[in-house]
Structure 1
Amino acid sequence: MSLNILIAEDNQFTATQYDRILRKYGHHVVITRDGTECLEKYHRELKRTEFDSLDETPFDVVVLDQSMPKKSGSEVAEEILEVSPKQKIIFASAYALTGNSDTAQLKKKVDFLQKPFSLRAFVQKIEGEQPTE
């Protein structure tokens, strides 16, 4: 099954690796370089698909780095979940989500993949499998 995936990753090399491996597995990938661009693409796609189904999200999966320019991954996730509470979000980051009670609530709503990880583990997490590596 082909997934529609939005990725926010400011590291060019990492973003390219994500794009290549996910396309190899037949997925459609949209890459953004910072939190603000990610939200712009998300809201644009949300508006474009708003009448398709009220139960669906504009992307099957949103992948966020925690440490990004303009807006952090946590800020982006919170804004996305405000408008699309069912959106699947995966943090692919070397930085754990730490902070206040808002962060504790966010941890319950998102998945986390600790860097470094193999590209195979990344694909498995995206596709909803438990990573075996």
Structure 2
Amino acid sequence: MSKIKILLAEDEMALGMIIQESLESREFQVTLCADGLQAWDSYQKSKPDVLVLDVMMPKKDGFTLAEQIRKTDPYTPIIFLTSKSQTEDVLKGFGLGANDYVRKPFSMEELIVRIKAQLNRLQLRKNQSDWMNLGKYKFHATKQLLKLENEECHLTARESQLLKILLENANQITDRSLILTQIWGSDDFFNARSMDVFITKLRKKLQEDTQIQILNVRGFGYKLVC
């Protein structure tokens, strides 16, 4: 079985080498780059499975690099390493296509768990043409169908997009602003109210399975429990 390829871009080389050695000891294949330009060149040549990018890098910062990659590659997971904690920076990163943030300082175990979680979600996306299990239901994202035994429920495009994002992050909090940016294009007040309406609709369509809940985690987002 081939190793998972990780492109790690970190300009603090001492830290980068520690992360590289730790990941390689867990059977990952890691390419370490010292700046954004080097990382872009490496990305084009190697096509990694996961990108772990420091935000503040010389020559090309992590945000710019992620934006460049997302123009042609919407799927490869991007995890930002950052010492920034401002909400604006987090939202900017998600808006540019980031999948996750890890704030410095962090433990290697946390980073590894987040990498594996992104790989699992990527596999779900690749299987989106297939039926996905959701408690007693079957969900088909492409056909926009929710199925319970022999009964089918047709979803709107937006309902299907919303349920797909929640299912990809099942049993974890999905950032409210991330959902709004991906589906509605912005996280303004009116779009937020619209999303709340769609959440209510999905709850009703999933009510036949009492083990499924869509929880509103106040101040953060939603959590699909199943």
Structure 1 range deviating more: 70-79 or 87-96: 87-96
Q: Give 1:3 deviation, angstroms.
A: 1.1
Higher relative contact order (CA 8 A, sep 6+): 1
Distance 1:104 1:59, change over 3 A: closer
Q: Contact 1:35–1:71 at 8 Å: present in 2 too?
A: yes
The answer to whether residue 90 in structure 2 is matched with residue 89 in structure 1 is: no
Q: Cα deviations across residues 29-81 of structure 1 (Å, max 9, x unaligned)? A: 00000001000111122xxxxxxxxxxxx211000000000111000001111
Q: Secondary structure at the match of 1:125?
A: helix
Q: Percent of aligned positions with the same letter in both sequences?
A: 31
The answer to whether residue 121 in structure 2 is matched with residue 120 in structure 1 is: no
Distance 1:83 1:120, change over 3 A: same
Q: Secondary structure at the match of 1:126?
A: helix
Q: Cα deviations across residues 4-26 of structure 1 (Å, max 9, x unaligned)? A: 00010000111011111111100
Name 1:80's counterpart in structure 2. 69
What residue ranges of structure 1 are gaps of 5+ in the alignment? 46-57
Q: Contact 2:11–2:35 at 8 Å: present in 1 too?
A: yes
Name 2:53's counterpart in structure 1. 64
Name 1:21's counterpart in structure 2. 22
Name 1:54's counterpart in structure 2. none
Q: Contact 2:36–2:62 at 8 Å: present in 1 too?
A: yes
Write the letter of the residue equivalent to 1:44: K
Alignment counterpart, residue 105 of structure 1, candidates 95, 101, 109? 95
Name 1:7's counterpart in structure 2. 8
Q: Secondary structure at the match of 2:48?
A: coil
Instruction: Tell me which structure has the larger Cα radius of gyration.
Output: 2
The answer to whether residue 47 in structure 2 is matched with residue 35 in structure 1 is: no
Q: How far apart, in 2, do the equivalents of 1:4 and 1:96 lie?
A: 28
Q: How far apart, in 1, do the equivalents of 2:92 and 2:14 lie?
A: 31
What residue ranges of structure 2 are gaps of 5+ in the alignment? 119-171, 173-226
Higher strand share: 2
When the two structures are superposed, what TM-score results if normalisation uses the length of structure 1?
0.78
Distance 1:73 1:127, change over 3 A: same
Structure 1 range deviating more: 1-10 or 58-67: 1-10
Q: Give 1:110 deviation, angstroms.
A: 2.3
Q: Give 1:127 deviation, angstroms.
A: 1.7
Q: Give 1:96 deviation, angstroms.
A: 4.4
Write the letter of the residue equivalent to 1:105: G
Q: Contact 1:21–1:123 at 8 Å: present in 2 too?
A: no
Name 1:51's counterpart in structure 2. none
Distance 1:21 1:104, change over 3 A: closer
Aligned length: 116
